[in-house]
Amino acid sequence: MKSVNTVKAVKAIAFSLMGAIVLLLVVASIVEKFKGTEFVARYFYTSTLTICLWVAAVVFSLWHLCNVLFVKTSDASIGAKLSQLGVFGLHFAFVLILAGALLTHLFGVQGAVELREGEATTAYIDKDHDYQIRKFPFSITLTNFQVLTYPGTDTPRDYVSTIIVDGVKGQVSMNKIFKYKGYRFYQSGYNGDGHTVVLLLNHDPWGIAVTYTGYLLLLLSILVFFFLPDTHFRLLVKRLKAELAGASSLRMLMVVLFVTSATYGLASPQTLPEQQSDRLGNLCVFYGGRLQPLSCLATDFTEKLYGKSSYQGMTAEQVYAGWLLMPYSWLDEPMLKLKSADRKLLGLKGRYATYNELFAAKNAGLQLSAYSTEKMALVYMLLHGELTRIYPYVTDTTNAASSLVWYSPSSDLQLGMPDEQWFFIRKSVDYIGELAFEKNYSRIDTVISKIAKYQQSVAGTSIPSERRFVIEQMFRRIHYSKPMAMAAVTIGLMLFLVYMLLLSHRNSLPKWLSATALWLMVVAELFLSVMLALRWYVSGHVPLSNGHETMQTLAWIAMLVALGASAQLSNDNHAVSRLFVLSAGWLIAGFALLVSMMTASNPQITPLMPVLQSPLLSIHVAVIMLSYALLFFIAINSLAALLSKNRNMQVHLLVSRLLLYPAVFLLTIGIFIGAIWANISWGRYWGWDPKEVWALITMLVYSLPLHSSQLSWLNKPKTFHLYCVVAFLTVLFTYFGVNFLLGGMHAYN
């Protein structure tokens, strides 16, 4: 009896300690908003009490794990023993990871060293011990530093420091570490003259080695868990197949059509005809850190001001041309979209204000929101020529590729520039404005052609190819997110409604309904694949660099998962389950696309920062997004179970439990891939950023139902499903709450 009581006590303590850790992380992430990362890192995350809490949780969890796995195993089969070993390895991997973190905390050294070109140093600043000056067992000399830029732009592509350490030459750049005698050097910063750099350093041979061993053991244990025949995952697969094989067929027919449209037209301010505006849009402009068609800048400008890519029947290029060439006819045009708070502040009834109204309010001392101030700043930049960097100039003819800059008519032009070139840059846009006033459109075409020829003659191969320009312009004109999102949500809700009705009526499902939903999803998936591929092509990087792109990718993943799952439910016995899978896929994709619309007007397709160029980043985000898609699917599945009035409750339970394993494992793998990327880029694999903390909270929260065999209250289907629905709030907060409430390095724009 004493032994049984001890086992129960150990289990209760182990799970209670993990709950306490989750609560501590939640509180600390909120306190960080007000006190800063350094404060919570010292007094919450790495305090002695927290470390003791983690150690106690590890000890009692291992104790409980041994009680569960290694009691009465003499009669177990070889497969069962291997499965037990895999489960133990999975948990022990976390012990190693935490042990590595403890070693890093106790014995690791993190610091910074400032290097002046040509000067040797043996000192560094120890960041872990109140920024004390300490000595290296060697000397370091910076011999050269370069800022590499994207061709034809001044946007940094990489930062490269060439150093010599005790006679050994090496390079340090973003995502490229230099190692010497256990010290790891990372590129951090540089001063304005380009002759002094700051390198971060890390000396942590034991902590990193143990942590990476834990990562490797974790990956191997996950693979073992999925492929060994006697694991709980494989058992759930067998039980689900048995449940689905006995499912009865039902009949139901439903078709819903809903179409709305609204158009309006108002008097138009002055601008160029569409033909001349389009030719202006075909020019190359340096915008958003890269070269792109001016039409893309025009689209961003119009969307940011008005919320749409056209205005009163005018194209984005015409809106841009009007503001650029004939601004006085636009200053009193009500096209600056406002939020409700600013409308109340200004006493406006409509949704839009004029630039002059906002300008007057600003001069009167009214505190407008950042949303409205940004629009004013954008107009100001265009009126003063700062958004019209269409004139390339080579500042150093001996090194044309790296000395190419792009000027606007209002830029401070280089001294010594030839008079005719200076005059052309300063006056050609003004001349187009004069010609527009005279309505001399044929002459405008001639001037625009001269600007295009000037760009080609000076910038040459730095200008993207005509094919790339055409593809980017075509891509930016396809506004698919909103109609596709509305269609996906509508189809998903229709299918989900049909599914819920089928659960309460003994009718069979017509084959055409699920077949239509399936083929529509195939078409949508192919279309979204093309759109993501086009974005990848024009941006030059995997479309995972901001919130808009990741939600688009999440929609793509959701439909891919739904198509894969429906393929496994292709026979008639699984028709109803297949309908649910398709409805969930449509809903997840639709909501992801709706969220992507929130930021669709702000992100620009820009070159990635050097630190974001690692392929590990793309893998990290893709794996996390796939995990979120599965967790979303689990939440919908559990919600359907709660609404089904006990019909098919067991099938829903098996589906949620089955999907929890890949969802949680993918989330875990994604977190640790991100940690490895951070360690390569910044010299630390964990920085207690709010996004990191909440990803860890989500992983811990969702790991609890994986242990439902040890927690009797989670064995009740309704309780289990309710937990999965509520747990999804952690995913929502990790992605949205952190971005909009807590901030941090990972907050998407």
**Residue 442 confidence (pLDDT):** 92
Lowest mean pLDDT: which of 78-82, 303-307, 699-703? 78-82
Residues 39-47, mean pLDDT to the nearest whole number? 83
The pLDDT confidence band at residue 605, using thresholds 50, 70 and 90, is very low
> Is the same domain home to 569 and 620?
no
| Structural contact between residues 125 and 132, judged by C-beta atoms closer than 8 angstroms | yes
The answer to whether position 265 is within a domain reads no
The pLDDT confidence band at residue 320, using thresholds 50, 70 and 90, is very high
The answer to whether position 357 is within a domain reads yes
**Residue 509 confidence (pLDDT):** 66
Residue 95: burial class (beta carbons within 10 Å; 0-12, 13-18, 19+): middle
> Is the same domain home to 336 and 450?
yes
Residues 464-469, mean pLDDT to the nearest whole number? 78
Higher pLDDT pick, 296 / 400: 296
From CA 430, how far away is CA 500, in angstroms rounded?
64
**Selection from 363-377, 473-487, 510-524 with the highest mean pLDDT:** 510-524
Query: Would you give the end-to-end CA distance of the chain in angstroms?
Result: 58
Q: What are phi and psi of 718, to 5 degrees?
A: -65, -40
The answer to whether position 238 is within a domain reads no
Instruction: Please name the amino acid found at residue 167.
Output: G
From CA 409, how far away is CA 395, in angstroms rounded?
17
> Is the same domain home to 716 and 664?
yes
| Structural contact between residues 707 and 28, judged by C-beta atoms closer than 8 angstroms | no
Q: For the segment 383-394, what is each residue's pLDDT rounded down to a tens digit?
A: 877 788 899 988
The answer to whether position 430 is within a domain reads yes
Higher pLDDT pick, 600 / 724: 724
**Residue 571 confidence (pLDDT):** 63
> Is the same domain home to 513 and 446?
no
The answer to whether position 13 is within a domain reads yes
Cβ count near 210 (within 10 Å): 20
Residues spanned by the domain of 306 = 276-464
**Residue 72 confidence (pLDDT):** 52
Higher pLDDT pick, 700 / 577: 700
Tokens of 95: 């012990």
Q: C-alpha 331: how far from its chain's center?
A: 37
The pLDDT confidence band at residue 747, using thresholds 50, 70 and 90, is very low
Nearest residue to 164 (alpha-carbon basis) of 174, 154, 150, 178:
178
Half-sphere exposure of 108 (CA within 13 A, CB side): 24
Q: What are phi and psi of 120, to 5 degrees?
A: -90, 150
Tokens of 257: 């059509």
The answer to whether position 125 is within a domain reads yes
Average pLDDT, the chain: 79
> Is the same domain home to 664 and 689?
yes
Residues 467-492, mean pLDDT to the nearest whole number? 81
Nearest residue to 749 (alpha-carbon basis) of 528, 596, 532:
596
E strands in 440-555: none
DSSP letter assigned to residue 149? E
Q: Of the residues 578, 607, 636, which one is the last residue of a structural domain?
A: 607
Burial 624-651 (b: 16+ CB within 10 A, else e): bbbbbbbbbbbbbbbbbbbebeeebbeb
Share of the chain above pLDDT 90, in %: 13
> Is the same domain home to 222 and 301?
no
> Is the same domain home to 311 and 456?
yes
Q: Of the residues 563, 589, 607, which one is the last residue of a structural domain?
A: 607
The answer to whether position 122 is within a domain reads yes
The answer to whether position 516 is within a domain reads yes
Residues 576-591, mean pLDDT to the nearest whole number? 81
Q: C-alpha 606: how far from its chain's center?
A: 14
The pLDDT confidence band at residue 20, using thresholds 50, 70 and 90, is very high
**Total domain count for the chain?**
6
> Is the same domain home to 56 and 193?
no
Query: Which residues, in sequence order, are CB contacts of 242 under 8 Å at separation 6+?
Result: none
Q: Of the residues 150, 184, 203, which one is the last residue of a structural domain?
A: 203
Max CA separation in the chain (angstroms): 100
Question: How large is the C-alpha radius of gyration of the chain?
Answer: 30
Tokens of 16: 């209670």
> Is the same domain home to 406 and 286?
yes
Q: What are phi and psi of 716, to 5 degrees?
A: -80, 120
> Is the same domain home to 382 and 448?
yes
State the SS3 of 237-283. Answer: HHHHHHHHHCCCCCECCCCCCCCCCCCCCCCCCCCCCHHHHHHHHCC
Lowest mean pLDDT: which of 10-14, 337-341, 420-424, 560-564? 337-341
Residues 655-673, mean pLDDT to the nearest whole number? 88
From CA 407, how far away is CA 389, in angstroms rounded?
5
Residues 659-681, mean pLDDT to the nearest whole number? 86
- On the question of pLDDT at 265 being above 50, the answer is no
The pLDDT confidence band at residue 426, using thresholds 50, 70 and 90, is confident
Residues 643-664, mean pLDDT to the nearest whole number? 78
> Is the same domain home to 602 and 613?
no
**Selection from 365-374, 484-493, 504-513, 692-701 with the highest mean pLDDT:** 692-701
> Is the same domain home to 196 and 221?
no
Query: Which residues, in sequence order, are CB contacts of 398 under 8 Å at separation 6+?
Result: none
Tokens of 639: 């919600």
From CA 169, how far away is CA 24, in angstroms rounded?
46
Residues 665-677, mean pLDDT to the nearest whole number? 87
